[in-house]
A and B are shown apart, each in its own frame.
Chain A
Amino acid sequence: MGIRRLFVANRGEIAVRIVRAAKALGIETVQAFSDADKDMLAVQMADTAVRVGGPAAKHSYLNGARLVEAAGEAGCDAVHPGYGFLSENAAFAEAVEAAGLIFVGPGAETIRTMGDKAAAREAAISAGVPVVPGSKGRVEGIDAAIDTAGEIGYPVMIKAAAGGGGRGIRIAENADDLRRLMPSAQAEAQAAFGDGGFYLERLISQPRHVEVQILSDGKRAIHVFERECSLQRRRQKVWEEAPASCLDTATRDRLCASAVALAERVGYRGAGTLEYLYDDTTGEFFFIEMNTRIQVEHPITEMVTGIDLVQEMIKIAGGEPLSIAQEAVRLNGHSIEVRINAEDPANNFMPNPGTITALSVPEGEGLRFDGMIYEGYAIPPFYDSLLGKLIVHAATRGEALDRLAGALDGLRVEGVKTTAPLHRALAADPDIRQGDFHTQFLENWLTGRKLAAQ
Chain B
Amino acid sequence: MSEIRSPLPGTFYRKPDPASAPFKDTGDTVAVGDVIGLVEVMKSFVEVKAEVAGTVARYLVENEQPIMAGDVLVELEG
A residues in contact (CB < 8 Å) with B: 36, 54-56, 342-343, 350-351, 353, 381-385
Contact = CB atoms under 8 A, between A and B. Distances in A.
A383 B40 CA distance: 9
The 7 closest A-B pairs by CB, nearest first: A351-B42, A381-B9, A381-B10, A385-B42, A351-B41, A381-B41, A55-B66
Contacts of A350: 44, 46
B29 interface: no
Interface residues of B, number: 12
Nearest to B42: A351
Max chain B CB contacts within 10 Å: which of A54, A55, A382?
A382
B11 interface: yes
B42 A384 contact: yes
B64 interface: yes
B41 A353 contact: yes
A449 B7 CA distance: 26
A384 B43 contact: yes
Max chain A CB contacts within 10 Å: which of B8, B41, B64?
B41
Nearest to A342: B42
12 contacts: A55-B11, A55-B66, A56-B64, A343-B42, A351-B41, A351-B43, A351-B44, A353-B10, A353-B41, A382-B11, A385-B42, A385-B43
Contacts of B10: 353, 381-382
A216 B41 CA distance: 37
Given A381-B42, A385-B42, A385-B43, A353 B64 contact: no
Given A56-B11, A353-B9, A382 B66 contact: yes
B42 A56 contact: no
Nearest to A386: B42
Given A350-B44, A351-B8, 12 more contacts: A54-B66, A350-B46, A351-B44, A353-B8, A353-B41, A353-B42, A381-B9, A381-B42, A383-B42, A383-B43, A384-B42, A384-B43
Contacts of A385: 42-43
A435 to B, nearest CB: 30
A384 B46 CA distance: 15
Contacts of B42: 342-343, 351, 353, 381-385
A381 B8 contact: yes
Nearest to A383: B42
A36 B66 contact: yes
